[in-house]
Structure 1
Amino acid sequence: MTKILNVSKLRKTYTSGSKDLTVLDDISFSIEAGDTFAIVGPSGSGKTTLLGLCAGLDRSDDGTVTLCGEDLGSLNEDERAFLRNQKVGFIFQDFQLLPTLTALENVSVPLELQGASNAAAVALELLQKVGLGDRYDHYPSQLSGGEQQRVALARAFSTKPDILFADEPTGNLDEETGEKVIKLLFDLNKEAGTTLVIVTHDLDLARLNNHVLRLKGGKIIANETTTVS
């Protein structure tokens, strides 16, 4: 199968005062197209930093990241932004909806940035899929946390991305709401055939994926293939 993400000997260090702090050290793994892949580990293990490097939101100090056939290290900021716009979807812990836009407008934005002429129709169809067809004209402040994350799900899948990065997608939700959001995420993902990469501290969520990468202290301590029922 095609490797959609390949990470080799990745290293990231931050300088704090007079000290250097190595957040990631010698990280190597690959993900095949269509896989579901969880990155787990305790707080401070480097999970979110790794996601940012894989998505081209930040640059590593050493090593390479190849995303959708492109070596991120060889691309400038504009080129990486274009790649994300065309190929990548994101879901964040804190939703990151635009507060001055309605649910429909939030979902439409990535489509409009791609020049789609049917952005509103596609956005409304996705909102209906996540159970918010009747809330399309509501602003984020008028929606619960779970509803905001469902809008974020619709937005993430609106452009039919090749790969979707989700950073603690249930981190701000109660258990029951989180379970509903995760079911929607996996249902939409299965329908779209998207590659899914989830950063989480929730081992139950991690086990829903085909592969689990475990980090501790900035290093890989396990890379496991799971049996998903």
Structure 2
Amino acid sequence: MAKILNVRNLEKSYSSGSKKLKVLQDINFEVEEQKTFAIVGPSGSGKTTLLGLCAGLDRPDSGSINLCGSELSTLGEDKRALLRNKHIGFVFQDFQLLPTLTALENVAVPLELQGNKDASKIGKELLTKVGLGDRIHHYPSQLSGGEQQRVALARAFSTRPSVLFADEPTGNLDTETGEKVEQLLFDLNKEAGTTLIIVTHDLELAEKTQHILRLKGGRIVENQVKHV
């Protein structure tokens, strides 16, 4: 199976006053195409920083990240944005839906940006698939947290991304709603043949993936590939 993400010797620091705070050091791992992968660890272990670097949203101090066949360090901002638009989907803890757009419009936006003439049709199909076929004209403020995250899932999968990055996708949801969203996430992922990379503090969610990377203090303390 081909590697869709390859991370080598990654280091990242932030300045805190006069001090340099090392957030990630000596990070090495790879993710195979169409696999499910979890990054876990306590708060402050560098999980979200690592996700942002892997998705090309930020740059490391040193090391290399190869995503979907492109070496991110060699790409300027515009080319990295193009790579994300073409290959990457995102799901965030706080949904990040546009409040002035309906559920359908939120799902259709990434497709419209790609010039897809069937944006509305695909949006309706995906919202029906996540159980919101009767809520397509509702605004985010008219939807529960679980419903908003289901809209976010439909939006993330609308462009059929090669890789979906999910940052604490159930972090703002109660247990029952979170489990439903998890199931949808895995079902949609399997159907689309997407590579799923989840950052989570929820070890039960992580255990449902095929590969777990555990961070502590900015370092990898476990890199577990499960034979699933």
Distance 1:208 1:111 in 2: 30
Runs of 5+ consecutive residues of structure 1 not aligned to the other structure:
none
Q: Counterpart of 1:178?
A: 178
Distance 1:86 1:8 in 2: 24
Scaled by the length of structure 2, the TM-score of the pair is 0.99
- Whether the 8 Å CA contact 1:36–1:196 is kept in 2: the answer is yes
Q: How does 1:1-229 map to 2 (within 5 A)?
A: 1-228=1-228
Could you tell me how far 1:227 is from its partner in structure 2? Answer: 4.8
Give the paired residue count: 228
Could you tell me how far 1:226 is from its partner in structure 2? Answer: 2.4
- Whether the 8 Å CA contact 1:146–1:178 is kept in 2: the answer is yes
Give CA-to-partner distance per residue, 1:103-130, whole Å, 9 cap, x none: 0000000000110000000000000000
Distance 1:211 1:83 in 2: 24
Give CA-to-partner distance per residue, 1:35-65, whole Å, 9 cap, x none: 1000000000000000000000000000000
Distance 1:47 1:3 in 2: 20
Counterpart residue identity of residue 58, structure 1: D
Tell me the percent identity: 72
Distance 1:61 1:227 in 2: 33
SS of 1:85's partner is helix
Runs of 5+ consecutive residues of structure 2 not aligned to the other structure:
none
Give CA-to-partner distance per residue, 1:138-162, whole Å, 9 cap, x none: 0000000000000000000000000
SS of 1:151's partner is helix
Counterpart residue identity of residue 161, structure 1: P
Distance 1:73 1:99 in 2: 34
Counterpart residue identity of residue 103, structure 1: A
Counterpart residue identity of residue 207, structure 1: E
**Structure 1 residues 185 and 38, CA gap change in structure 2 (3 angstroms):** same
Scaled by the length of structure 1, the TM-score of the pair is 0.99
Could you tell me how far 1:201 is from its partner in structure 2? Answer: 0.4
Distance 1:140 1:146 in 2: 11
**RMSD of aligned alpha carbons:** 0.6
Distance 2:46 2:59 in 1: 14
Distance 1:91 1:191 in 2: 17
Distance 1:114 1:190 in 2: 23
